[in-house]
Amino acid sequence: MKIYTYRNCGTCQKATKWLRAAGIDFEEIPIRDAPPAVTELQAMLETVGGDLRALCNTSGQDYRALGLKDKLPRMAPAAGLELLSSQGNLVKRPFLIDERRGIRLLGFREEIWGEKLLPGGWQPDAKSSV
């Protein structure tokens, strides 16, 4: 299981803290230094129903500076995936992928991660123990 994070991202910090507390092994990868590969982005794109914008960190400065709000709707998916794979700061994070188990998660919501990653799924009262 790999999780792409940015060290100054509070959501990424919450996600990795949650994974550690749950006893889940993972490889943490700095998304700006080593962005997800095109194949990983393609897999995530399928998970989000082909919505390229859903893969983007739309609140980031680079997203705004590149004018991606207007460019993405006209961009071919392959071109968009190449761009994201070359500039990790454009990718929404945390970006978790476990191809062996077929798990792909974008952003962090404890209940969704718990349903996908915890044996027996997420339990509301489990929140305090994780």
pLDDT band at 9 (very low <50, low <70, confident <90, very high): very high
Instruction: Give the pLDDT of residue 119.
Output: 81
Please give the average per-residue pLDDT across 48-64, as a whole number.
95
Name the domain count of the chain: 1
Q: Residue 37 maps to which CATH number? A: 3.40.30.10
Given a contact cutoff of 8 angstroms between Cβ atoms, the answer to whether 89 and 32 are in contact is yes
Residue percentage of the chain with pLDDT more than 70: 92
| Residue found by looking up tokens 């590969």 in the block | 37
Cα atoms found within 13 Å of the Cα of residue 8, Cβ hemisphere only? 3
Cis preceding linkage at 94, omega within 30: yes
pTM value is: 0.89
Structural domain range at position 89: 2-129
